[in-house]
Protein backbone atom coordinates (compact mmCIF):
# COMPACT_ATOMS: atom_id res chain seq x y z
CA UNK A 1 0.00 0.00 0.00
CA UNK A 2 1.65 3.18 -1.22
CA UNK A 3 -0.11 5.63 1.10
CA UNK A 4 0.27 5.09 4.84
CA UNK A 5 -2.77 4.10 6.86
CA UNK A 6 -2.41 7.22 8.91
CA UNK A 7 -2.69 9.49 5.90
CA UNK A 8 -5.66 7.48 4.60
CA UNK A 9 -7.37 7.89 7.96
CA UNK A 10 -6.43 11.57 8.10
CA UNK A 11 -8.28 12.14 4.85
CA UNK A 12 -11.48 11.61 6.82
CA UNK A 13 -10.86 14.72 8.89
CA UNK A 14 -12.08 17.17 6.28
CA UNK A 15 -15.49 15.50 6.36
CA UNK A 16 -15.61 15.83 10.09
CA UNK A 17 -15.21 19.60 9.81
CA UNK A 18 -18.20 19.84 7.50
CA UNK A 19 -20.39 17.61 9.66
CA UNK A 20 -19.44 19.49 12.80
CA UNK A 21 -21.38 22.40 11.35
CA UNK A 22 -24.38 20.39 10.26
CA UNK A 23 -25.88 18.30 13.07
CA UNK A 24 -28.02 15.30 12.28
CA UNK A 25 -31.28 16.99 13.19
CA UNK A 26 -30.62 19.58 10.49
CA UNK A 27 -29.78 16.86 8.00
CA UNK A 28 -32.97 14.98 8.80
CA UNK A 29 -34.96 18.17 8.28
CA UNK A 30 -33.30 18.79 4.92
CA UNK A 31 -33.55 15.26 3.57
CA UNK A 32 -36.86 13.40 3.83
CA UNK A 33 -35.15 10.34 2.33
CA UNK A 34 -32.45 10.08 4.95
CA UNK A 35 -33.72 6.81 6.45
CA UNK A 36 -33.99 5.24 3.02
CA UNK A 37 -30.62 6.54 1.96
CA UNK A 38 -28.85 5.22 5.03
CA UNK A 39 -30.42 1.88 5.71
CA UNK A 40 -29.58 -1.54 4.33
CA UNK A 41 -30.64 -5.13 4.89
CA UNK A 42 -29.12 -8.57 5.09
CA UNK A 43 -31.91 -11.12 4.87
CA UNK A 44 -34.35 -10.25 7.63
CA UNK A 45 -32.00 -7.91 9.45
CA UNK A 46 -32.37 -4.21 8.83
CA UNK A 47 -29.60 -1.78 9.68
CA UNK A 48 -30.74 1.80 10.08
CA UNK A 49 -27.58 3.90 10.17
CA UNK A 50 -29.23 7.19 9.30
CA UNK A 51 -28.74 8.53 12.83
CA UNK A 52 -25.01 8.90 12.32
CA UNK A 53 -22.83 11.92 11.67
CA UNK A 54 -22.57 11.18 7.98
CA UNK A 55 -23.44 12.54 4.57
CA UNK A 56 -22.83 11.23 1.05
CA UNK A 57 -19.24 12.50 0.71
CA UNK A 58 -18.38 10.93 4.08
CA UNK A 59 -19.74 7.54 3.10
CA UNK A 60 -17.93 7.78 -0.22
CA UNK A 61 -14.69 8.54 1.62
CA UNK A 62 -15.23 5.57 3.92
CA UNK A 63 -15.82 3.16 1.04
CA UNK A 64 -12.80 4.63 -0.70
CA UNK A 65 -10.78 3.90 2.42
CA UNK A 66 -12.04 0.30 2.41
CA UNK A 67 -10.89 -0.07 -1.18
CA UNK A 68 -7.56 1.62 -0.50
CA UNK A 69 -6.75 -0.98 2.18
CA UNK A 70 -7.92 -3.71 -0.21
CA UNK A 71 -10.71 -4.97 2.00
CA UNK A 72 -12.09 -7.08 -0.82
CA UNK A 73 -8.70 -8.69 -1.47
CA UNK A 74 -8.18 -9.54 2.17
CA UNK A 75 -11.70 -10.93 2.43
CA UNK A 76 -10.86 -13.16 -0.53
CA UNK A 77 -7.62 -14.24 1.15
CA UNK A 78 -9.46 -15.18 4.32
CA UNK A 79 -11.99 -17.25 2.39
CA UNK A 80 -9.23 -18.89 0.38
CA UNK A 81 -7.74 -20.23 3.61
CA UNK A 82 -4.61 -18.06 3.47
CA UNK A 83 -2.80 -17.80 6.78
CA UNK A 84 -4.05 -14.32 7.59
CA UNK A 85 -3.36 -15.04 11.27
CA UNK A 86 0.29 -14.46 10.49
CA UNK A 87 1.77 -14.49 13.99
CA UNK A 88 0.35 -17.94 14.63
CA UNK A 89 0.73 -18.98 11.00
CA UNK A 90 -2.89 -20.12 10.73
CA UNK A 91 -5.87 -19.78 8.46
CA UNK A 92 -8.98 -18.06 9.82
CA UNK A 93 -11.79 -20.22 8.67
CA UNK A 94 -14.58 -20.42 11.22
CA UNK A 95 -16.91 -19.79 8.23
CA UNK A 96 -16.15 -23.36 7.10
CA UNK A 97 -17.92 -24.62 10.23
CA UNK A 98 -21.24 -23.16 9.09
CA UNK A 99 -20.83 -23.56 5.35
CA UNK A 100 -24.06 -24.84 3.80
CA UNK A 101 -22.97 -25.06 0.15
CA UNK A 102 -21.73 -28.06 -1.76
CA UNK A 103 -18.33 -26.81 -2.91
CA UNK A 104 -15.11 -27.96 -1.25
CA UNK A 105 -13.66 -25.58 1.35
CA UNK A 106 -9.91 -25.98 1.26
CA UNK A 107 -7.48 -25.14 3.99
CA UNK A 108 -3.84 -25.89 3.23
CA UNK A 109 -4.97 -27.88 0.23
CA UNK A 110 -7.37 -30.12 2.17
CA UNK A 111 -11.15 -30.00 1.85
CA UNK A 112 -12.45 -29.61 5.40
CA UNK A 113 -16.17 -30.01 4.70
CA UNK A 114 -16.07 -33.77 5.34
CA UNK A 115 -14.40 -33.55 8.78
CA UNK A 116 -16.70 -30.64 9.72
CA UNK A 117 -19.76 -32.71 8.82
CA UNK A 118 -18.38 -35.71 10.73
CA UNK A 119 -18.08 -33.69 13.93
CA UNK A 120 -21.56 -32.21 13.41
CA UNK A 121 -22.94 -35.69 12.98
CA UNK A 122 -21.27 -36.83 16.19
CA UNK A 123 -22.62 -33.74 17.98
CA UNK A 124 -26.10 -34.52 16.73
CA UNK A 125 -25.85 -38.13 17.90
CA UNK A 126 -24.63 -37.14 21.35
CA UNK A 127 -26.96 -34.17 21.92
CA UNK A 128 -30.00 -36.15 20.72
CA UNK A 129 -29.07 -39.02 23.03
CA UNK A 130 -28.58 -36.78 26.07
CA UNK A 131 -31.91 -35.06 25.37
CA UNK A 132 -33.81 -38.32 24.87
CA UNK A 133 -32.18 -40.14 27.75
CA UNK A 134 -30.55 -42.73 25.49
CA UNK A 135 -27.28 -41.65 27.09
CA UNK A 136 -27.53 -41.65 30.88
CA UNK A 137 -25.35 -41.37 33.96
CA UNK A 138 -23.49 -44.29 35.55
CA UNK A 139 -26.47 -45.26 37.72
CA UNK A 140 -28.93 -45.22 34.81
CA UNK A 141 -30.52 -41.88 35.69
CA UNK A 142 -31.33 -39.40 32.92
CA UNK A 143 -29.24 -36.21 32.85
CA UNK A 144 -31.09 -33.13 34.05
CA UNK A 145 -28.10 -30.80 34.33
CA UNK A 146 -25.16 -30.23 32.04
CA UNK A 147 -22.19 -28.18 33.20
CA UNK A 148 -19.94 -26.70 30.54
CA UNK A 149 -16.50 -26.00 31.94
CA UNK A 150 -14.51 -23.63 29.77
CA UNK A 151 -13.34 -20.02 29.69
CA UNK A 152 -12.98 -17.18 27.17
CA UNK A 153 -13.86 -18.43 23.72
CA UNK A 154 -14.81 -21.82 25.18
CA UNK A 155 -17.44 -20.22 27.40
CA UNK A 156 -18.65 -16.79 26.34
CA UNK A 157 -20.21 -17.83 23.01
CA UNK A 158 -22.15 -20.89 24.18
CA UNK A 159 -23.16 -19.19 27.45
CA UNK A 160 -24.47 -16.12 25.61
CA UNK A 161 -26.27 -18.19 22.97
CA UNK A 162 -27.90 -20.55 25.48
CA UNK A 163 -29.32 -17.57 27.33
CA UNK A 164 -30.41 -15.86 24.13
CA UNK A 165 -32.26 -18.97 22.97
CA UNK A 166 -33.98 -19.66 26.27
CA UNK A 167 -37.39 -20.04 24.56
CA UNK A 168 -35.99 -23.11 22.79
CA UNK A 169 -34.67 -24.80 25.95
CA UNK A 170 -36.36 -27.39 28.16
CA UNK A 171 -37.10 -26.88 31.82
CA UNK A 172 -36.02 -30.44 32.62
CA UNK A 173 -32.59 -30.11 31.02
CA UNK A 174 -30.58 -27.21 32.31
CA UNK A 175 -27.20 -26.14 30.92
CA UNK A 176 -24.85 -24.28 33.26
CA UNK A 177 -21.56 -22.56 32.51
CA UNK A 178 -18.58 -22.53 34.84
CA UNK A 179 -15.57 -20.48 33.80
CA UNK A 180 -13.92 -18.61 36.65
CA UNK A 181 -11.08 -20.19 38.62
CA UNK A 182 -12.76 -18.60 41.63
CA UNK A 183 -14.04 -21.68 43.45
CA UNK A 184 -17.27 -19.79 44.13
CA UNK A 185 -18.31 -20.36 40.54
CA UNK A 186 -18.24 -24.15 40.52
CA UNK A 187 -19.28 -24.34 44.16
CA UNK A 188 -22.44 -22.32 43.60
CA UNK A 189 -23.21 -24.20 40.38
CA UNK A 190 -22.90 -27.61 41.99
CA UNK A 191 -25.03 -26.56 44.96
CA UNK A 192 -28.28 -28.49 44.79
CA UNK A 193 -27.27 -30.60 41.77
CA UNK A 194 -27.36 -34.37 41.84
CA UNK A 195 -24.13 -36.03 40.62
CA UNK A 196 -26.15 -38.95 39.31
CA UNK A 197 -27.97 -36.65 36.90
CA UNK A 198 -25.11 -34.27 36.03
CA UNK A 199 -23.03 -34.35 32.88
CA UNK A 200 -19.82 -32.32 32.55
CA UNK A 201 -18.49 -31.00 29.27
CA UNK A 202 -14.90 -29.85 29.41
CA UNK A 203 -14.50 -27.29 26.65
CA UNK A 204 -10.94 -26.32 25.93
CA UNK A 205 -9.25 -25.96 22.57
CA UNK A 206 -5.84 -26.61 24.12
CA UNK A 207 -6.98 -28.68 27.12
CA UNK A 208 -4.27 -26.96 29.14
CA UNK A 209 -6.01 -23.76 30.28
CA UNK A 210 -5.42 -23.51 34.01
CA UNK A 211 -8.89 -22.29 35.01
CA UNK A 212 -10.62 -24.98 32.98
CA UNK A 213 -8.34 -27.78 34.14
CA UNK A 214 -8.78 -26.68 37.77
CA UNK A 215 -12.59 -26.62 37.45
CA UNK A 216 -12.59 -29.92 35.54
CA UNK A 217 -10.55 -31.57 38.30
CA UNK A 218 -13.01 -30.28 40.91
CA UNK A 219 -15.95 -31.57 38.88
CA UNK A 220 -14.24 -34.90 38.40
CA UNK A 221 -13.58 -35.23 42.12
CA UNK A 222 -17.23 -34.38 42.85
CA UNK A 223 -18.42 -37.20 40.58
CA UNK A 224 -15.80 -39.67 41.82
CA UNK A 225 -16.62 -38.92 45.47
CA UNK A 226 -20.35 -39.45 44.95
CA UNK A 227 -20.39 -42.25 42.39
CA UNK A 228 -16.91 -43.77 42.42
CA UNK A 229 -13.96 -43.36 40.06
CA UNK A 230 -15.45 -45.77 37.51
CA UNK A 231 -18.42 -43.40 36.97
CA UNK A 232 -16.24 -40.56 35.66
CA UNK A 233 -16.28 -41.77 32.05
CA UNK A 234 -20.09 -41.74 32.01
CA UNK A 235 -20.31 -38.20 33.32
CA UNK A 236 -17.78 -36.41 31.14
CA UNK A 237 -17.43 -35.30 27.54
CA UNK A 238 -14.79 -33.03 26.02
CA UNK A 239 -14.52 -30.46 23.23
CA UNK A 240 -10.96 -29.92 22.18
CA UNK A 241 -8.25 -30.01 19.52
CA UNK A 242 -6.01 -31.87 22.01
CA UNK A 243 -7.49 -35.35 21.76
CA UNK A 244 -4.68 -37.02 23.68
CA UNK A 245 -5.06 -34.81 26.76
CA UNK A 246 -8.81 -35.53 26.77
CA UNK A 247 -8.15 -39.26 26.74
CA UNK A 248 -5.57 -38.86 29.55
CA UNK A 249 -8.26 -37.12 31.61
CA UNK A 250 -10.38 -40.26 31.32
CA UNK A 251 -12.84 -39.21 28.65
CA UNK A 252 -14.13 -41.92 26.30
CA UNK A 253 -13.05 -41.50 22.70
CA UNK A 254 -16.64 -41.31 21.41
CA UNK A 255 -17.28 -38.41 23.77
CA UNK A 256 -14.44 -36.27 22.51
CA UNK A 257 -15.52 -33.77 19.89
CA UNK A 258 -12.68 -32.21 17.97
CA UNK A 259 -12.02 -29.03 16.07
CA UNK A 260 -9.04 -27.46 14.36
CA UNK A 261 -6.37 -24.82 14.78
CA UNK A 262 -7.96 -22.70 12.04
CA UNK A 263 -10.82 -22.01 14.47
CA UNK A 264 -9.87 -19.19 16.84
CA UNK A 265 -11.19 -19.53 20.39
CA UNK A 266 -13.45 -16.47 20.16
CA UNK A 267 -14.75 -17.70 16.80
CA UNK A 268 -15.40 -21.24 17.99
CA UNK A 269 -19.07 -21.15 18.98
CA UNK A 270 -19.82 -22.72 15.59
CA UNK A 271 -17.57 -25.70 16.25
CA UNK A 272 -17.79 -28.58 18.74
CA UNK A 273 -17.66 -25.78 21.33
CA UNK A 274 -21.36 -25.34 20.45
CA UNK A 275 -22.24 -28.80 21.83
CA UNK A 276 -23.83 -27.43 25.05
CA UNK A 277 -26.02 -25.22 22.84
CA UNK A 278 -27.13 -28.25 20.82
CA UNK A 279 -27.96 -30.06 24.07
CA UNK A 280 -29.86 -27.05 25.42
CA UNK A 281 -31.91 -26.17 22.33
CA UNK A 282 -31.76 -29.32 20.21
CA UNK A 283 -29.56 -30.03 17.21
CA UNK A 284 -32.06 -28.69 14.66
CA UNK A 285 -31.97 -25.29 16.32
CA UNK A 286 -28.18 -25.42 16.46
CA UNK A 287 -28.19 -26.07 12.73
CA UNK A 288 -30.53 -23.14 12.14
CA UNK A 289 -28.04 -21.04 14.13
CA UNK A 290 -25.24 -22.16 11.79
CA UNK A 291 -27.42 -21.46 8.78
CA UNK A 292 -28.09 -17.91 9.95
CA UNK A 293 -24.35 -17.31 10.20
CA UNK A 294 -23.81 -18.80 6.75
CA UNK A 295 -26.39 -16.41 5.32
CA UNK A 296 -24.50 -13.48 6.81
CA UNK A 297 -21.26 -14.90 5.37
CA UNK A 298 -22.84 -14.91 1.94
CA UNK A 299 -24.08 -11.37 2.42
CA UNK A 300 -20.62 -10.23 3.49
CA UNK A 301 -18.98 -12.04 0.58
CA UNK A 302 -21.34 -11.10 -2.19
CA UNK A 303 -22.92 -7.74 -1.42
CA UNK A 304 -21.25 -4.63 -2.75
CA UNK A 305 -19.49 -2.62 -0.08
CA UNK A 306 -22.06 0.19 -0.18
CA UNK A 307 -24.86 -2.14 0.92
CA UNK A 308 -22.83 -4.55 3.02
CA UNK A 309 -23.84 -4.48 6.69
CA UNK A 310 -20.55 -5.57 8.29
CA UNK A 311 -18.69 -3.17 6.01
CA UNK A 312 -20.95 -0.23 6.82
CA UNK A 313 -20.84 -0.90 10.56
CA UNK A 314 -17.09 -1.48 10.51
CA UNK A 315 -16.41 1.72 8.59
CA UNK A 316 -18.68 3.80 10.83
CA UNK A 317 -16.69 2.49 13.79
CA UNK A 318 -13.46 3.56 12.09
CA UNK A 319 -14.98 6.96 11.31
CA UNK A 320 -15.78 7.59 14.98
CA UNK A 321 -12.58 6.09 16.32
CA UNK A 322 -10.16 7.79 13.98
CA UNK A 323 -11.81 10.98 12.76
CA UNK A 324 -13.69 11.90 15.95
CA UNK A 325 -11.60 10.20 18.62
CA UNK A 326 -14.54 8.44 20.29
CA UNK A 327 -13.00 5.70 22.35
CA UNK A 328 -15.93 3.52 23.35
CA UNK A 329 -18.78 1.81 21.58
CA UNK A 330 -21.96 0.69 23.35
CA UNK A 331 -24.05 -2.29 22.29
CA UNK A 332 -27.51 -1.94 23.79
CA UNK A 333 -29.89 -4.77 22.93
CA UNK A 334 -33.53 -4.11 23.72
CA UNK A 335 -33.76 -7.79 24.43
CA UNK A 336 -33.30 -9.18 27.91
CA UNK A 337 -32.11 -12.50 26.53
CA UNK A 338 -29.16 -10.74 24.90
CA UNK A 339 -27.93 -9.69 28.31
CA UNK A 340 -24.57 -11.43 27.70
CA UNK A 341 -24.26 -10.19 24.12
CA UNK A 342 -22.06 -7.20 24.99
CA UNK A 343 -19.81 -9.40 27.15
CA UNK A 344 -19.47 -11.77 24.22
CA UNK A 345 -18.69 -8.93 21.83
CA UNK A 346 -16.16 -7.52 24.25
CA UNK A 347 -14.03 -10.57 23.67
CA UNK A 348 -14.77 -10.81 19.98
CA UNK A 349 -13.91 -7.17 19.35
CA UNK A 350 -11.43 -6.18 22.04
CA UNK A 351 -9.32 -9.35 21.91
CA UNK A 352 -9.31 -9.09 18.12
CA UNK A 353 -8.59 -5.42 17.54
CA UNK A 354 -7.08 -4.35 20.86
CA UNK A 355 -3.69 -4.21 19.15
CA UNK A 356 -1.04 -1.54 18.80
CA UNK A 357 1.29 -2.99 16.19
CA UNK A 358 0.54 -3.60 12.53
CA UNK A 359 0.81 -6.96 10.81
CA UNK A 360 4.47 -6.31 10.12
CA UNK A 361 5.18 -5.47 13.75
CA UNK A 362 5.38 -1.67 13.45
CA UNK A 363 3.69 0.48 16.12
CA UNK A 364 0.46 2.02 14.84
CA UNK A 365 0.27 5.82 14.71
CA UNK A 366 -3.53 5.93 14.95
CA UNK A 367 -6.17 4.51 17.29
CA UNK A 368 -7.41 0.93 16.89
CA UNK A 369 -10.18 -1.06 18.61
CA UNK A 370 -12.62 0.82 20.83
CA UNK A 371 -13.76 -0.21 24.29
CA UNK A 372 -16.95 -2.20 23.75
CA UNK A 373 -19.55 -2.36 26.47
CA UNK A 374 -23.28 -2.49 27.07
CA UNK A 375 -26.29 -3.82 28.88
CA UNK A 376 -29.83 -4.47 27.76
CA UNK A 377 -32.40 -1.71 27.55
CA UNK A 378 -34.53 -0.61 29.24
CA UNK A 379 -32.39 -1.34 32.32
CA UNK A 380 -29.50 0.78 31.08
CA UNK A 381 -31.82 3.77 30.73
CA UNK A 382 -32.12 3.91 34.50
CA UNK A 383 -28.40 3.61 34.98
CA UNK A 384 -25.72 4.83 32.56
CA UNK A 385 -27.74 6.47 29.75
CA UNK A 386 -27.41 9.79 31.58
CA UNK A 387 -23.77 9.91 30.46
CA UNK A 388 -24.62 8.86 26.91
CA UNK A 389 -27.11 11.74 26.64
CA UNK A 390 -25.39 14.51 28.56
CA UNK A 391 -21.87 13.39 29.42
CA UNK A 392 -18.71 14.90 27.96
CA UNK A 393 -17.88 11.78 25.93
CA UNK A 394 -19.76 10.88 22.78
CA UNK A 395 -20.55 7.17 22.67
CA UNK A 396 -21.72 5.65 19.40
CA UNK A 397 -24.42 3.09 20.11
CA UNK A 398 -25.84 -0.02 18.44
CA UNK A 399 -29.45 -0.69 19.38
CA UNK A 400 -30.79 -4.19 18.71
CA UNK A 401 -34.50 -4.85 18.55
CA UNK A 402 -36.82 -7.72 17.63
CA UNK A 403 -40.23 -6.87 16.18
CA UNK A 404 -41.84 -9.90 17.80
CA UNK A 405 -41.32 -11.18 21.31
CA UNK A 406 -41.42 -14.87 22.17
CA UNK A 407 -44.08 -14.37 24.80
CA UNK A 408 -47.61 -13.05 24.55
CA UNK A 409 -47.57 -10.47 27.30
CA UNK A 410 -48.99 -7.20 26.08
CA UNK A 411 -48.13 -4.39 26.62
CA UNK A 412 -44.53 -5.36 27.43
CA UNK A 413 -43.13 -5.56 23.95
CA UNK A 414 -44.78 -2.39 22.66
CA UNK A 415 -43.26 -0.53 25.59
CA UNK A 416 -39.85 -2.06 24.91
CA UNK A 417 -40.02 -0.98 21.26
CA UNK A 418 -41.19 2.53 22.14
CA UNK A 419 -38.29 2.93 24.54
CA UNK A 420 -35.72 1.73 22.04
CA UNK A 421 -36.93 4.05 19.28
CA UNK A 422 -37.24 6.93 21.75
CA UNK A 423 -33.64 6.57 22.83
CA UNK A 424 -32.15 6.76 19.36
CA UNK A 425 -34.45 9.68 18.56
CA UNK A 426 -33.50 11.51 21.74
CA UNK A 427 -29.79 10.94 21.14
CA UNK A 428 -30.08 12.29 17.62
CA UNK A 429 -32.38 15.24 18.30
CA UNK A 430 -31.24 16.42 21.69
CA UNK A 431 -33.09 19.34 23.23
CA UNK A 432 -32.10 22.92 22.50
CA UNK A 433 -32.08 25.88 24.86
CA UNK A 434 -35.18 27.36 23.20
CA UNK A 435 -37.01 24.05 23.50
CA UNK A 436 -36.18 23.75 27.19
CA UNK A 437 -37.29 27.32 27.89
CA UNK A 438 -40.55 26.86 25.96
CA UNK A 439 -41.25 23.64 27.84
CA UNK A 440 -40.61 25.16 31.26
CA UNK A 441 -42.70 28.22 30.39
CA UNK A 442 -45.58 25.99 29.36
CA UNK A 443 -45.33 24.29 32.74
CA UNK A 444 -45.68 27.68 34.43
CA UNK A 445 -42.17 27.70 35.93
CA UNK A 446 -41.03 31.17 37.00
CA UNK A 447 -38.34 33.13 35.16
CA UNK A 448 -35.50 32.72 37.70
CA UNK A 449 -36.04 29.02 37.97
CA UNK A 450 -36.11 28.70 34.17
CA UNK A 451 -32.75 30.45 34.02
CA UNK A 452 -31.26 28.18 36.66
CA UNK A 453 -32.65 24.95 35.24
CA UNK A 454 -32.17 25.47 31.52
CA UNK A 455 -28.51 24.37 31.22
CA UNK A 456 -29.24 21.18 33.17
CA UNK A 457 -32.17 20.27 30.99
CA UNK A 458 -30.50 20.80 27.62
CA UNK A 459 -29.38 17.79 25.56
CA UNK A 460 -26.62 18.35 23.01
CA UNK A 461 -28.07 15.71 20.64
CA UNK A 462 -26.21 14.78 17.46
CA UNK A 463 -25.20 11.57 19.25
CA UNK A 464 -24.82 8.66 16.85
CA UNK A 465 -26.56 5.32 16.82
CA UNK A 466 -27.26 2.35 14.58
CA UNK A 467 -30.41 0.31 14.97
CA UNK A 468 -30.51 -3.35 13.99
CA UNK A 469 -34.08 -4.59 13.69
CA UNK A 470 -35.13 -8.17 12.97
CA UNK A 471 -38.40 -10.13 13.14
CA UNK A 472 -37.66 -12.30 16.18
CA UNK A 473 -34.64 -13.57 18.09
CA UNK A 474 -34.60 -17.03 16.49
CA UNK A 475 -31.54 -19.30 16.27
CA UNK A 476 -31.12 -18.23 12.66
CA UNK A 477 -31.26 -14.51 13.39
CA UNK A 478 -28.88 -14.90 16.32
CA UNK A 479 -26.41 -16.75 14.08
CA UNK A 480 -26.62 -13.92 11.55
CA UNK A 481 -26.15 -11.24 14.19
CA UNK A 482 -23.03 -12.85 15.63
CA UNK A 483 -21.54 -13.37 12.17
CA UNK A 484 -22.35 -9.73 11.36
CA UNK A 485 -20.21 -8.56 14.27
CA UNK A 486 -17.46 -11.06 13.44
CA UNK A 487 -17.17 -9.60 9.97
CA UNK A 488 -17.37 -6.07 11.30
CA UNK A 489 -14.30 -6.87 13.42
CA UNK A 490 -12.58 -8.22 10.30
CA UNK A 491 -13.36 -5.02 8.39
CA UNK A 492 -11.93 -2.85 11.14
CA UNK A 493 -8.88 -5.06 11.62
CA UNK A 494 -8.24 -4.75 7.89
CA UNK A 495 -8.50 -0.97 7.93
CA UNK A 496 -6.18 -0.75 10.93
CA UNK A 497 -3.79 -3.32 9.45
CA UNK A 498 -3.64 -5.40 12.63
CA UNK A 499 -3.84 -9.15 13.19
CA UNK A 500 -7.36 -9.60 14.57
CA UNK A 501 -6.77 -13.29 15.20
CA UNK A 502 -4.03 -13.54 17.79
CA UNK A 503 -4.13 -12.52 21.47
CA UNK A 504 -0.60 -12.27 22.81
CA UNK A 505 -1.79 -9.63 25.26
CA UNK A 506 -3.35 -12.28 27.48
CA UNK A 507 -0.07 -14.13 27.99
CA UNK A 508 1.94 -11.97 30.39
CA UNK A 509 -0.60 -12.12 33.19
CA UNK A 510 -0.82 -15.91 32.82
CA UNK A 511 2.99 -16.23 33.09
CA UNK A 512 3.18 -14.01 36.14
CA UNK A 513 0.29 -15.85 37.84
CA UNK A 514 2.21 -19.08 37.44
CA UNK A 515 5.28 -17.51 39.00
CA UNK A 516 3.25 -16.01 41.85
CA UNK A 517 1.29 -19.10 42.82
CA UNK A 518 4.05 -20.68 45.00
CA UNK A 519 4.46 -17.32 46.73
CA UNK A 520 0.73 -17.08 47.38
CA UNK A 521 0.77 -20.63 48.70
CA UNK A 522 3.68 -19.77 50.97
CA UNK A 523 6.04 -22.23 49.31
CA UNK A 524 8.47 -19.60 48.04
CA UNK A 525 9.74 -16.13 48.93
CA UNK A 526 8.60 -13.09 46.95
CA UNK A 527 11.91 -11.18 47.03
CA UNK A 528 12.11 -10.88 43.26
CA UNK A 529 8.89 -8.84 42.96
CA UNK A 530 8.24 -5.11 43.05
CA UNK A 531 7.38 -3.45 46.37
CA UNK A 532 3.66 -3.24 45.62
CA UNK A 533 3.36 -6.93 44.80
CA UNK A 534 5.48 -7.81 47.87
CA UNK A 535 3.37 -5.53 50.07
CA UNK A 536 0.12 -7.04 48.80
CA UNK A 537 1.42 -10.56 49.30
CA UNK A 538 2.50 -9.77 52.85
CA UNK A 539 -0.91 -8.25 53.62
CA UNK A 540 -2.59 -11.30 52.06
CA UNK A 541 -0.64 -13.65 54.32
CA UNK A 542 -1.43 -11.49 57.39
CA UNK A 543 -5.16 -11.36 56.60
CA UNK A 544 -5.32 -15.05 55.76
CA UNK A 545 -3.77 -15.95 59.09
- Contacts to ligand G6Q by CB under 6 A: 151-154, 204-206, 209, 212, 264-266, 351, 503
Residue 64, classed as helix, strand or coil, is helix
Nearer to ligand G6Q by Cβ, of 212 and 494: the residue is 212
Which residue is catalytic, options 211, 295, 351, 476?
Answer: 351
CB-based closest residue to ligand G6Q: 152
> Which one, of 292, 256, 266, 261, lies nearest residue 119 by Cα?
256
2 touches 8 (CB < 8 A): no
Would you put residue 342 in left (φ > 0), alpha (ψ -120 to 50) or beta? alpha
3-state helix, strand, coil in the chain (%, to 5): 55, 10, 30
| Catalytic-labelled residue, pool 191, 304, 362, 382 | 382
Torsion of CA 51, 57, 59, 65, to 10 degrees: -150
Concatenating the DSSP letter of every residue in 88-146 gives TTB---GGGGG--SSS--EETTEE-HHHHHHHHHHHHHHHHHHHHTSSB-TTSPBP-EE
Quick one: which of 325, 304, 306, 303 has its CA closest to 315?
Answer: 306
Q: What's the sign of the alpha-carbon dihedral 308, 312, 318, 323?
A: positive
Nearest residue (CB) to ligand G6Q, 414 versus 506:
506
Residue 197: name the closest of 143, 139, 136 by CA.
Answer: 143
Half-sphere exposure of 185 (CA within 13 A, CB side): 19
Q: Which is nearer to ligand G6Q, 149 or 491 (CB)?
A: 149
45 forms bridges with which residues in the sheet?
42
Q: In the complex with ligand G6Q, which residue's Cβ is closer, 169 or 346? A: 346
What phi, psi does 234 have (nearest 5°)? -80, -15
Closest CA to 330 of 265, 364, 381: 381
- Identity of the residue, 147 or 151, whose beta carbon is nearer to ligand G6Q in the bound complex: 151
Least separation in angstroms between CB 497 and ligand G6Q? 20
Q: What is the nearest approach in angstroms of ligand G6Q to the Cβ of residue 264?
A: 5
The C-alpha angle with vertex 305 and arms to 304 and 307, in degrees rounded to 5, equals 75
- Note if 510 is an active site residue: yes
Query: What is the nearest approach in angstroms of ligand G6Q to the Cβ of residue 189?
Result: 18
Q: How far is Cα 179 from Cα 160, in angstroms, rounded to an integer?
A: 13
Q: Rounded to an integer, what distance in angstroms lies between the CA atom of residue 142 and that of residue 139?
A: 9
Question: What does the DSSP 8-state code read for residue 206?
Answer: S
Measured from the CB atom, the residue of 206 and 367 that comes closer to ligand G6Q is 206
Q: Annotated catalytic, 329?
A: no
Closest contact distance (angstroms) between CB of 545 and ligand G6Q is 34
CB of 151 to ligand G6Q, least distance (A): 5
Q: Which is nearer to ligand G6Q, 10 or 206 (CB)?
A: 206
For residue 187, indicate whether it is catalytic.
Answer: no
Residue closer to ligand G6Q, measured from CB, 152 or 405: 152
Inter-residue long-range contacts of 110-115, CB under 8 Å, 24+ positions, other chains counted: 112/260, 112/262, 115/260
Q: Least CB distance from residue 513 to ligand G6Q, whole Å? A: 13
DSSP string, 404-436: S-SS--TTHHHHHHHHHHHHHHHHHH-B-HHHH
Q: Residue 500 Cβ, how far from ligand G6Q at the closest point, in Å?
A: 10
Tell me, what DSSP letter sits at residue 350? I
Element (H, E) at 275: helix 275-281
The residue (of 153 and 396) whose beta carbon lies closer to ligand G6Q is 153
Of residues 510, 514, 525, 541, which has the active-site annotation? Answer: 510
**Minimum separation from the CB atom of position 267 to ligand G6Q (A):** 7
Q: What DSSP assignment string belongs to 70-91?
A: THHHHHHHHHTT---BTTTTB-
Nearest Cα neighbor of 203 from 129, 277, 131 is 277
CB of 350 to ligand G6Q, least distance (A): 11
To ligand G6Q, the closest distance from the beta carbon of 348 in angstroms equals: 8
- Measured from the CB atom, is 128 or 261 closer to ligand G6Q? 261
Annotated catalytic residues are 351, 382, 510
Amino acid sequence: MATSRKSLLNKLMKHRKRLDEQPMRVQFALDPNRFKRYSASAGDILLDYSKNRIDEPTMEALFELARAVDLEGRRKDMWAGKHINSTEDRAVMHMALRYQGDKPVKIDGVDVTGPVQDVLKAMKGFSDAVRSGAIRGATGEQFTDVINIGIGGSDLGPAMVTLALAPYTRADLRVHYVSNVDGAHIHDTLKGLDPKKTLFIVASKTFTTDETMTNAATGRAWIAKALGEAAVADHFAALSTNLKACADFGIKSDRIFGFWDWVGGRYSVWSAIGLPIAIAVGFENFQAFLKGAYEMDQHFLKTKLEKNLPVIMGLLGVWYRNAWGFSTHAVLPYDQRLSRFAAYLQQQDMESNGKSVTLDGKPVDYSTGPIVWGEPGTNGQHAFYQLIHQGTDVIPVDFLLAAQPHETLPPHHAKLVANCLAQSEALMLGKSKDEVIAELKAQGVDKDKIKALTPHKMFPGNRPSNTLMYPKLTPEILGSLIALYEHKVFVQGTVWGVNSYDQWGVELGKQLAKALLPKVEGAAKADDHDSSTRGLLAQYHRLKA
